[in-house]
Amino acid sequence: MSSYLSWLAPRRNRLILCAVLVAAPIATALGVPLPYTVLQPGISVNTLGSYQGTQVITITGHPTRQTDGQLRMTTIAATLPDYSPRLPEIVSAWGDPNRAVVPRDSVYPSGQSVSQANQVNQQAMQQSQESATTAALGFLGLSSSQVHVDLKLADVGGPSAGLMFTLGIIDELNGNGSGKQGAAGDLTGGSVVAGTGEIDDTGNVGAVGGVSLKTKAAARDGATVFLVPRGECSDAEVDTPKGLRLVPVTTLDQAVKALEALQSGDAAAVPAC
């Protein structure tokens, strides 16, 4: 019996040691912060309405029109640059179609602080607003010396609202050009249209990223049409919410014509991904 016990004790110790050697890396991995950012659908805001009590678009120096539809810019919500998710959170996000995990450096340049990230995003938003105003007034043949456009969207950064800002300005100034009031004269035809895309002064629409999450934000908030930069069609088609129509565009002119075709019921004139 004693010999048996003298053999059992060392064997038991070896088993315990093996268990510790296996468990230690797992426990360490579970608790170690990892250099990733978790993304999910963010807010969407109607550029024709108000946000946090402030009108998004304010125009002076030119008559404006009352709109019935919505032109919603979309966002993604990202964990802050000073936050590092642990393995359980990353695994959970990987299995969730409403979240995505990406390397942190793909969202925030290495070493960027929260304040620096906010500053960069606000600068991009300011440039986006200026380009949207220039593109919209140029599209309508109006001068910035006579028409003043003020855009406000608190706590939202980045350039991706450019296209929807531009369409909002056009809708408030001119609608679909018919001169009709309300939904009949809206670019949207009175419906809820969402979208994303950076815009330059001449009306070119550029890719912005995060489209597969933005479509979910759009559908959640009632949109039935989503304007997407053509180069991001494949991303937008990933798990597209049911009932949301993707309309790819590369220019402001294409976006306006697509909305007019949707309103007139000319399905053949509406591009598709």
Query: Exposure of 28 by Cβ count < 10 A (0-12 exposed, 13-18 middle, 19+ buried)?
Result: exposed
What's the pLDDT score for residue 29? 53
Q: Contact, 162 vs 131, CB < 8 A? A: yes
Q: Give the model confidence (pLDDT) of 31-75 as tens digits.
A: 677 888 899 999 999 999 999 999 999 999 999 999 999 999 999
Sheet with 70-78, side-by-side order of all strands: 100-103, 36-46, 70-78, 192-195, 225-229, 245-249
* For range 86-110, the mean pLDDT: 87
- pLDDT tens digits for 100-142? 998 888 888 777 777 887 787 778 788 889 999 999 999 999 9
User: Do residues 166 and 252 lie in contact, with contact meaning Cβ atoms separated by under 8 Å?
Assistant: yes
Interaxial angle between packed helices 2-31 and 87-94, expressed in degrees from 0 to 180 and rounded to the nearest 10: 70
Residue 74 region, left (φ>0) first, then alpha (ψ -120 to 50), else beta? beta
pTM for the structure as a whole: 0.85
Overall residue count recorded for the chain in this entry: 273
What pLDDT was estimated at residue 81? 84
Q: How many Å apart are CA 204 and CA 252, to the nearest integer? A: 6
Measure the CA angle with vertex 119, ends 118 and 123; round to 5°.
Answer: 115
